[in-house]
Amino acid sequence: MLDIVVPIKQVPDLVEELEIDPSGTALGLERTRFVVNELDDHALEQALLLKEKHQAQVSVIALDVGDVEETLFMALAKGVDQAIKISGDFGPAPDNHTTARVLKDVLGGLSHNLILTGVQAIDDLDGQLGILLSSYLDLPYVGLVSGVQIDEGGSKATVLKELPGGVKAELELPLPAVLGIQAAEQPPRYVPVSRVRQAMRTATIEERSAAAEGNGHIRVRRISKPQVGAGAELLEGSSEDIAEQIVGILADRGILR
């Protein structure tokens, strides 16, 4: 039996504008809505595709941050077999070192042949979670994966990676392994609202707790919005005025005649 574990992470939903905390070293998260990190959603989709092909067992695990329950119920509605929420003293925005340490403890008690996670998350663009997990668990790792095949016996995986310059590589690695997913083989599926609501009524999210020991020793010194630099020109006025100005600029540069 193939056991797939998908660690997923909550990130701020960019539909609303981001605010910076008065400290200037973090995002103001009080009024932020959270959403599953997009590449983790791809990791989940890839897991579901493998489940359909190999009758795999899929577990989704996440630290209790943001609106994690909604995300876990959506995963249950999509057909995962188990959803686990981990609580602990890791604060509202744990870094990848903290997250990996928490996850490795939980993963220790969870059967796994394959760990799929998004190759990076939009809130830190750090891209290290999969790597850290693979080193803690002493498993092989491949990142930026966009296709996964498992052999009949479930002993090895063949993964697809798109390299720069339009070149594709196929790599083979023994299972168990950790993969950082760049894209699932198909876009994440739609889950009808009636399924989500049914999951909220009938399915359960398992709860675990884990201690967060240490972090990555990285201190955020400053978070700020980009400033308008010298040389930038802001076009102002009504839509018509701005359109005129753009046409003028394009004509000046010889792009339009």
Tell me the β-bridge partners of 160. Answer: 147, 170
Minimum distance from residue 176 beta carbon to another protein (Å)? 28
Closer by beta carbon to another protein, 194 or else 202: 194
Query: What DSSP element (H or E) covers 246?
Result: helix 239-252
SS (H, E, C) 118-164: ECCCCCCCCCCHHHHHHHHHCCCEEEEEEEEEECCCCCEEEEEEEEC
- Selected range binding another protein among 54-62, 83-91, 114-122, 185-193, rule: CB under 8 A: 185-193
Minimum distance from residue 86 beta carbon to another protein (Å)? 24
Q: Are strands 141-150 and 177-181 parallel, antiparallel or unpaired?
A: parallel
Closer by beta carbon to another protein, 31 or else 221: 31
Closer by beta carbon to another protein, 60 or else 129: 60
Closer by beta carbon to another protein, 151 or else 244: 244
- Contact pattern for another protein over residues 8 through 47, marking x by CB under 8 A: -----x-xxx---------------x-x------------
C-alpha 228/C-alpha 34 separation (Å) is 28
How many chain residues touch another protein (CB under 8 A)? 16
Position among 21, 170, 189, 251 found at the interface with another protein (CB under 8 A): 189
- Residue 196 binds another protein, judged by CB under 8 A: yes
Q: Are strands 177-181 and 114-118 parallel, antiparallel or unpaired?
A: parallel
C-alpha 167/C-alpha 96 separation (Å) is 30
- Residue 89 binds another protein, judged by CB under 8 A: no
**Burial label, 122 (beta-carbon count in 10 A; 0-12, 13-18, 19+):** middle
Query: What DSSP element (H or E) covers 82?
Result: strand 82-87
- Selected range binding another protein among 99-107, 182-190, 209-217, 223-231, rule: CB under 8 A: 182-190
| CA dihedral sign, ordered 211, 143, 73, 80 | negative
Minimum distance from residue 189 beta carbon to another protein (Å)? 5
Residues between 106 and 135 with contacts to another protein, criterion CB under 8 A: none
Residues that bind another protein (CB under 8 A): 13, 15-17, 33, 35, 187, 189-197
